[in-house]
Amino acid sequence: MQIVEVRLKFDSRLYTLFNNKFDLKKGDFVVCESAVGESYGQVECVKDFHEKLPDDAKNILRIANEADAKHYEDVVQKSREAVKTTEELVKRLGLEMNVVNAEYSFDLSKVVIDFIAEDRVDFRDLIKELVSTLKTRIELKQIGIREQAKIVGGIGICGRPCCCSSYLKDFEKVSIKMAKVQGLALNPQKISGACGRLMCCLSYENEFYSDMSKNMPKINSEVETNDGKGTVVYQNMLKETVSVKFVDNDGTTTIKDYNLKDIKFKSQVKPSNETVLSAKEENRKQVENKENLQKSAKNINKSTKIDQKTSKSNQNPGKTSEKHNNVKTQEKDAKPNKTDKKVNFNQKKPNRKKFHLGKESK
């Protein structure tokens, strides 16, 4: 089994595929599986693989020949025509969306159309028109500005092609804090890419700079050197040096560079996870001990109250029994006597008149 890095023609990024049938080498053109369907690409790297295949593994279908190369040219031409027809239909239907790209699969069974829109778009009528004109399966996909730059491509401020369109597979999170840690000027024109968002390359060295910033004194902080105490005015994290400013008695200032080994300062290193966890455990134990002490104190108070009550009842047993008897007699007096009401069963019932069909009968 081999791992093959293939650069697809519709996309400049590298895709990892698996091969167990063909003898491939760098530069060969192949037809392979992709997210769109069948695709046409060029082999960039081949490596051996001896592990279990993932569930979503894509394979090499066959080595491309001249007929496949000519067919790929037809696919590219049809993709360009699909972009033009989609733009015409969008204008005719009055939809607020911009078509970026259209991509046919190598077997022409599906076409994916990428577009940009600020809001959600109801493109049901557009799909009906596209199906009737293109006569294939249609997939409309809304993308963002960074995805547009990846598809269209461009040149960055460094003079090289954009990273997203050349080799990046996924977009990583980039924040303005990364620029602050690296000491860059917070100018949007200098830290923004062709897409108008923060440059992806800010995340490449962020881990190194964030680690170094913990081991270096902060700017405007006071440090001790062989020449006395001074104030840090500049950090060079790559060389691990700092520039320190000294102020003489007459007001003159001098700036000198020092290595980190030659100065003394308060370290900015935060406590490790183990120390934080141990501190949390100690606090938890202290809280549990306090709760246990409170519970034991409550139990002692309850037991003392019960002992006091039992001692009082033992000292005056007659009073408690009298109270108990008085309560019982009061309850008896309060209950009504069922034998108070006497019923005479021999008493005759009063005569009642009977009426039958409007006539009176005695």
299 token code pair: 């139990």
Neighbours of 2 (CB within 10 A): 16
140 token code pair: 């409309």
Neighbours of 103 (CB within 10 A): 22
Residue 171 pLDDT: 82
Q: What is the mean pLDDT of residues 53-69?
A: 81
When the pLDDT of each residue in the chain is averaged and rounded to a whole number, the result is 78
Least confident of 55-69, 78-92, 120-134, 225-239: 55-69
Count of alpha carbons within 13 Å of 105, Cβ hemisphere only?
16
What distance, in Å, lies between the first and last C-alpha atoms of the chain? 119
Please tell me whether residue 296 adopts helix, strand or coil conformation.
Answer: helix
Neighbours of 68 (CB within 10 A): 15
pLDDT-derived band at 355, boundaries 50, 70, 90:
very low
Find where tokens 């530069």 sit.
Answer: 27
Cα–Cα dist 97/123, whole Å: 10
Closest to 106 measured CA to CA, from 19, 11, 21? 11
Residue 267 pLDDT: 62
Say if CB 106 and CB 37 are below 8 A apart. Answer: yes
Residue 164 has pLDDT above 80, yes or no: yes
Cα–Cα dist 275/278, whole Å: 5
Neighbours of 300 (CB within 10 A): 10
Say if CB 169 and CB 11 are below 8 A apart. Answer: no
Q: Residue 268: what residue type?
A: Q
Say if CB 165 and CB 171 are below 8 A apart. Answer: no
Cα–Cα dist 174/170, whole Å: 12
Cα–Cα dist 89/105, whole Å: 22
Beta strands in the chain (DSSP E): 2-8, 14-19, 29-33, 38-48, 60-63, 98-104, 110-116, 137-142, 222-225, 228-236, 241-247, 253-259, 354-356, 359-361
75 token code pair: 């696919």
Q: What is the mean pLDDT of residues 197-216?
A: 87
Residue 86 pLDDT: 92
Residue 351 pLDDT: 54
Q: What is the mean pLDDT of residues 125-142?
A: 89
80 token code pair: 């360009």
Find where tokens 């392979």 sit.
Answer: 32
Residue 84 pLDDT: 92
Cα–Cα dist 208/241, whole Å: 15
Q: What is the mean pLDDT of residues 333-342?
A: 49
Count of alpha carbons within 13 Å of 142, Cβ hemisphere only?
10
Q: Residue 134: what residue type?
A: L
**What secondary structure letter does DSSP report for 261?**
G
Cα–Cα dist 111/78, whole Å: 10
Q: What is the mean pLDDT of residues 315-340?
A: 50
Q: Residue 347: what residue type?
A: Q
Residue 184 pLDDT: 85
Residue 329 pLDDT: 52
